[in-house]
Amino acid sequence: MNEAGNIPDESEVKASTGRASWRIANGKICKGSEEEGTLDTREKIVGRLRRVGIHDGSFTRDNKTKRVYQLEADIETAKGMERVKASLCNLKGEDAPSGVAVGLLWGLLQFAKDELLVITASQGTKKNEFGSYSTFVNMFRLPEGKTEGVAIDRRPRNEGENFADVQNDLLKKIKQHPAFADRPASDSDDDEGNATTHLSALGKECAERGWPTPDQKPGAWLKMMAGFFKLPAPKAALSEHDDHEWGEIRLAMKDLEKCPNSLLEDADRGALV
């Protein structure tokens, strides 16, 4: 701690920069891009399973629109909430099975909501039928109070099984998982393209000021948006407002010293995000 003004040294301060999103590829748990010099890898993820979900959306980057269709698992770690994802489509945006998705699906189905788990990744030593090395998802159960994980059972293989059918069957089962839920509305697909939307930024700014975020009180926000843009009635969901509209309300709220009273109203029954 710096005694001049009681300013703490940055090494002493822990601050979240948002939900980290990790993928499993090339035998590693990673995020970022090697081409852009942002690649980051880690050995394992340890935490509690808070949410599983299937998300189908898109983002636009460099005037190209890319489909985002993926399995997601939100894990609460010692560093905060982090996401592990596995794509469910190919580069053309077509539904496609993958060993990583099947491995993660199978593994997640072995855990209860809020249970402690460990996720690692490894790479095969022999080339597969496509001439590349397969990536394997390894998952371990972590008993309460213990530091050594117990490997879960591997998925049974049936001779001649159709991999696409296997993945589709597991997708049906994951939708019945107690932790299955939609992703928060402020988690934009643009985040997949290393961009930030006005809606997601607005949510973070409101949280920092202690104000209700759009995720927390969607009905109140929709009512306020209707008044701001002079609409005849509030829209049905946060996603029905364009991002530039969220940008306008975000800019207007930056000059406010107090939270608008309308956001404190109980207007969220039946509201959609």
pLDDT in the model for residue 172: 97
pLDDT (tens digit, 9 = 90+) per residue, 154-170?
A: 999 888 889 899 999 99
pLDDT (tens digit, 9 = 90+) per residue, 51-103?
A: 999 998 887 766 677 888 999 999 999 988 999 999 998 878 889 999 999 99
Quote the CA–CA distance of 32 and 161 in Å, as a whole number. 34
Compute the average pLDDT of residues 193-204. Answer: 68
Sequence-distant (6+) residues with CB within 8 A of 170 are: 102, 105, 106, 109
pLDDT band at 253; cut points 50, 70, 90: confident
pLDDT in the model for residue 1: 42
Question: Is 183 inside a domain boundary?
Answer: no
- Considering the domain architecture, whether residues 104 and 202 belong to the same structural domain is answered as no
Sequence-distant (6+) residues with CB within 8 A of 161 are: none
- Considering the domain architecture, whether residues 32 and 149 belong to the same structural domain is answered as yes
- Considering the domain architecture, whether residues 203 and 151 belong to the same structural domain is answered as no
For residue 95, the enclosing domain spans 13-174
- Considering the domain architecture, whether residues 139 and 217 belong to the same structural domain is answered as no
Question: Is 80 inside a domain boundary?
Answer: yes
What angle (nearest 5°) sits at the alpha carbon of residue 33, between those of residues 44 and 29?
15
- Considering the domain architecture, whether residues 241 and 148 belong to the same structural domain is answered as no
pLDDT band at 178; cut points 50, 70, 90: very high
- Considering the domain architecture, whether residues 259 and 150 belong to the same structural domain is answered as no
- Considering the domain architecture, whether residues 43 and 84 belong to the same structural domain is answered as yes
Question: Is 119 inside a domain boundary?
Answer: yes
pLDDT band at 267; cut points 50, 70, 90: very low
pLDDT in the model for residue 268: 46
How many CA atoms does the CB half-sphere of 116 hold within 13 Å?
A: 12
Are 84 and 24 contacting, i.e. CB atoms less than 8 angstroms apart? yes
pLDDT in the model for residue 266: 56
Question: Is 115 inside a domain boundary?
Answer: yes
- Considering the domain architecture, whether residues 107 and 213 belong to the same structural domain is answered as no
Quote the CA–CA distance of 133 and 230 in Å, as a whole number. 57
- Considering the domain architecture, whether residues 153 and 214 belong to the same structural domain is answered as no
Q: Which one of 142, 174, 206 terminates a domain?
A: 174
pLDDT (tens digit, 9 = 90+) per residue, 104-157?
A: 999 999 999 999 999 999 988 887 665 667 899 999 999 988 889 999 999 998
- Considering the domain architecture, whether residues 30 and 75 belong to the same structural domain is answered as yes
Question: Is 1 inside a domain boundary?
Answer: no
- Give the global pTM: 0.63
Question: Is 109 inside a domain boundary?
Answer: yes
Question: Is 42 inside a domain boundary?
Answer: yes
- Considering the domain architecture, whether residues 135 and 212 belong to the same structural domain is answered as no
What is the total count of domains within the chain?
2
Q: Which one of 119, 140, 174 terminates a domain?
A: 174
- Considering the domain architecture, whether residues 147 and 208 belong to the same structural domain is answered as no
Residue 140: strand pairing partners: 118, 151
Question: Is 231 inside a domain boundary?
Answer: yes
